[in-house]
Amino acid sequence: MKRRMEAEQEDYNKELRLCVVCGERIEHEDAPDVRNFRYEYSLVGPFVTIWYCGCKPIIKGKCVRCGKYVDKEMEIPVCEICLEKYQEEIRSTYLSLRCKRCGNSIPSEEIDFYYETGMCTFCYHVTQD
């Protein structure tokens, strides 16, 4: 059970919400065309939340990024090569998030706050006093 919890904490895209097709951040997860699902590599992880903003039509059986045949029945079909690239984009974006005041990295639970303010919660509260 512990490994599953650790794997869930490593799913940065759960909060980051990058679209698998265009790579843009999805600001409002309840928008009409937005869909997501959690891709599980195994029962204990790792996991990645795949987001889709509706920017390109989904054709069943074809990868939404490259158009290659995908034989898996997934809500948002992505081939393994594109999934690896997508995860690298997620990692790269997540690692590039830095507070504009102190320069520290942003914890995954503060991603939405960072996009609103550009700062970590600590720096934001310090500047509000």
92-126 pLDDT, tens digit each: 999 999 999 999 999 989 999 999 999 999 999 99
What's this model's pTM, rounded to 2 decimal places?
0.85
State how far the alpha carbon of 72 is from the alpha carbons of 21, 68, 69, 127, in Å: 18, 12, 9, 50
Taking the C-alpha atoms of residue 85 and residue 80, their distance in angstroms, rounded to an integer, is: 9
CB 43 within 8 A of CB 8: no
| In a shared domain, residues 69 and 11 | yes
Q: Are residues 62 and 115 in the same domain?
A: no
117 in the same domain as 89: no
Q: Could you tell me if 67 and 89 lie in one domain?
A: yes
Compute the mean pLDDT over every residue in the chain, rounded to the nearest whole number: 89
- Same domain? For 45 and 87 the reply is yes
Q: Are residues 72 and 123 in the same domain?
A: no
Q: Assess whether 91 and 103 both reside in one domain.
A: no
Same domain, 24 and 63: yes
Same-domain check for residues 82 and 41: yes
Tally of domains in the chain: 2
Query: How many degrees, rounded to 5, is the angle at CA 89 between CA 83 and CA 94?
Result: 125
Based on the number of CB atoms within 10 Å of its own CB, is 117 exposed (0-12), middle (13-18) or buried (19 or more)? middle
**Which candidate, 8, 25, 1, places its Cα nearest to that of 93?**
25
Residues 92 and 106 in one domain: no
Q: Over the stretch 2-21, which tens digit does the pLDDT of each residue have?
A: 555 555 667 889 999 999 99
Domain, as residue range, for 114:
99-129
